[in-house]
A and B are shown apart, each in its own frame.
Chain A
Amino acid sequence: MAHTFELPIIEAPVMLDPMMPVPYRIERVKRETNDTFTLGLMPANGVGVTSFGPGQFNMLYIFGVGEVPISISSDPRSCPALEHTTRVVGPVTKAMGGLKRGDVIGIRGPFGSRWPVTEEMGRDFVIVTGGIGLAPLRPALYQLMAQREKYRKIVLLYGARTPQDILYRRELEHWRGKFDLEIQVTVDRGGGNWRGNVGVVTTLISRAPFDPSETVALVCGPEVMMRFAVMELQKRGVRSPKIFVSMERNMKCAVGFCGHCQYGPAFICKDGPVFSFDRIEPIFGKAEI
């Protein structure tokens, strides 16, 4: 008796060439603050990033202008749709800020290491961030909140320059309203109707509710802020291997080839940007590195 086999169709993940930008269309542009915006993107030809981990970044190519590394700020479950939150700091991001719905950019990625959200289930998570540093942590927050029952306390400590510079304000309010995420926001300069904390974000660490011996800390922001945040976390008793920082250097190729982002023995693009602090502790904050 002859048997016929019907082979199942398995959709293999599309392996994108890491050096070849894939066209993505801008679906929406959201002004977050006066100098920061979020691009909502979809693959222009149906082929795009199939998955990414929280903390990873893409290279965004503005045709004819240049390419910049920008962390992915969207929910990992929403792939291939992507969001990138960017602040205008140079010519490429300035050009990016002028893009409109329907415009197309090139994307390479995702690249780099991830925040250890799935690896550290069952622990307290404390997230310390400032300024646009919240953007690379947003996917981690989505992931934590999607499986809230698998974690103990989750604390977000966020510092901004002024109340007008607070990113994702509505989302933060939504999460705060759920009562299973402790959110503390502080600003460097209050004023107006601001009734919350004033001072740098590191001052919130000493009074944040978490158990240092069972805590994983995710830290992202300006390097000076991270240095002081790590000191405060260590002072509370969080161990270096459980502190994770996202480093930033001049990334160009994103695949550890060009060497622009060399950081001691590591390349930020390939070995980072997320490092457990014990890996970089000897060189962290060294001016010569």
Chain B
Amino acid sequence: MIHSLDSVIRQHAFFNELDEHHIQFIVGCAKNVRFDTNHYIFREGDDADQFFFILEGLVSVELMVPTKGSVTVQTVGEGDVFGWSWLAPPYRWHFDARTMRKTHALAFDGKCLRAKCEEDHDLGYEILKRFANVAVERLDATRLQLLDLYGAHV
């Protein structure tokens, strides 16, 4: 089944209850992207000017550790929004993102959206609220991961 960008964005919980003109602006910032397996979507230190909404596939968020190589700190999959370095200076990626499977996503032009958020603070607030929620979820998950829950001492 083929869905338009517009309908996919409207159906996603992340964009729930946004004003119509904000939705229309966001749709204008979005494009479909497809990546093969083992493709680096972005690399640590590169300009962060996008964020992604995964429609299908799996992406590994990695960090290069000397002597260990690439270490996966988490994976994100279908329905997840990822990438928030476009929101905070210096607007550079802090991690690598590599596809573990063929991945279909929506890519949003963060640079354009950032400029619009500066101009329209209502939109800026709505976007920040949503990203704050994603960040809280990721932080909770990271804290649990750090607890080493299944280790013998817990």
Beta-carbon contact of A199 and B74 below 8 Å = yes
B150 touches A197 (CB 8 A): no
Residues of B within 8 A of A21 (CB): none
Given A131-B149, A188-B149: A200 and B154 interface contact (C-beta under 8 Å): no
Per the bound structure, the CA–CA distance linking A182 and B122 in Å amounts to 41
Q: Which residues of B contact A198 (CB under 8 A)?
A: 60, 72-75
Q: Interface residues of B toward A: which range? A: 20 to 34
CB 8 Å contact bits of A171-213 with B (1 = contact, 0 = none): 0000000000000001010110011111110110011000000
Any A CB within 8 A of the CB of B100 = yes
Write out the residue numbers on chain A whose beta carbons fall within 8 Å of the beta carbon of B151.
161
Q: Mark A216-235, 1 if CB is under 8 A from B, else 0.
A: 00000110110010000000
Q: Among residues 28 to 53 in chain B, which have CB atoms less than 8 Å away from a CB atom of chain A?
A: none
- CA–CA, A207 to B72, complex, Å? 20
Chain B stretch 129-154: residues in CB contact (< 8 A) with chain A: 137, 140-141, 144-145, 147-152, 154
Q: CA separation between A285 and B148, bound complex, in Å?
A: 18
Chain B contacts of A165 at CB under 8 A? 150
Chain A residues bordering chain B, tally (CB within 8 A): 31
B6 at the interface (CB under 8 A from A): no
Q: B interface, by DSSP: helix, strand, loop or mixed?
A: mixed
Q: How far is the CA of A165 from the CA of B151 in the complex (A)?
A: 10
Q: Which residues in window 105-139 of B have CB below 8 A to A?
A: 137
Instruction: Tell me which of B78, B145, B148, B152 contacts A199 (CB under 8 A).
Output: B145
Residues of A contacting B78 in the complex (Cβ-Cβ under 8 angstroms): 207
Known A191-B72, A207-B79, A207-B80: A200·B152 in contact at CB below 8 Å: no
Complex-state Cα separation, A190 to B100, whole angstroms: 12
With both chains docked as a complex, state the minimum distance between the C-beta of B15 and any C-beta of chain A, in angstroms: 16
Identify the A interface with B (CB < 8 A): 35, 87-89, 130-132, 159-161, 165, 186, 188, 190-191, 194-200, 202-203, 206-207, 221-222, 224-225, 228
List CB contacts (< 8 Å) of B75-115 with chain A. Answer: 75, 77-80, 100-101
B5 within 8 A of A: no
**Cα(A202)–Cα(B141), bound, Å:** 8
Asked if B18 lies at the interface with its beta carbon under 8 angstroms from chain A, I say no
Task: State whether A207 and B77 are in contact (beta carbons under 8 Å apart), knowing that A35-B152, A165-B150, A228-B140 are contacts in the complex.
Answer: yes
Q: Closest CB-CB distance, A96 to chain B, in whole Å?
A: 15
Q: Which residues of B contact A89 (CB under 8 A)?
A: 152
B26 to chain A: which residues have CB within 8 Å?
none
Closest 5 CB pairs of A and B: A131-B150, A190-B72, A207-B79, A161-B150, A199-B74
Residues of A within 8 A of B141 (CB): 199-200, 202-203
